[in-house]
Amino acid sequence: MDKNIKHEEMQAIVRKRQHRNLIEDNKADLVFTVRGNAVDPQKVDRRMKRNHVPESFAYAPSPAACKLLCKLCSLH
């Protein structure tokens, strides 16, 4: 079993969290799970800080990533 969160998975988590914080601000914070394990919000914060992702802007590193985000948004 792989316990580490993959780069693409963390990008999707950051994008979804940014979307929720900026667009859907009237909703509660999300709890993310990867392979059945909850993702610690501090891990997401650390990832954003290390990659210089500001809290006030939507994060979209690539067009392919945006397509994945749209799929994730439609599932929730």
State pLDDT tens for residues 55-68. 776 666 555 555 55
Structural domain for 46, as ranges: 7-75
Which pLDDT belongs to residue 76? 47
Query: Does residue 71 form part of some domain?
Result: yes
Rg over CA atoms, the chain: 12
Which pLDDT belongs to residue 42? 92
**Total domains present in the chain:** 1
For residues 25 and 64, the model is more confident at 25
Query: Does residue 1 form part of some domain?
Result: no
The answer, yes or no, to whether residue 11 has pLDDT greater than 50, is: yes
Query: Does residue 29 form part of some domain?
Result: yes
Mean pLDDT for 36-46 is: 90
Query: Does residue 2 form part of some domain?
Result: no
Residue type for 43, please?
A: K
DSSP result, 8-76: HHHHHHHHHHHHHHHT-TTSPPP--EETTEEPPHHHHHHHHHHTT--TTS-----HHHHHHHHHHHHH-
Which pLDDT belongs to residue 73? 56
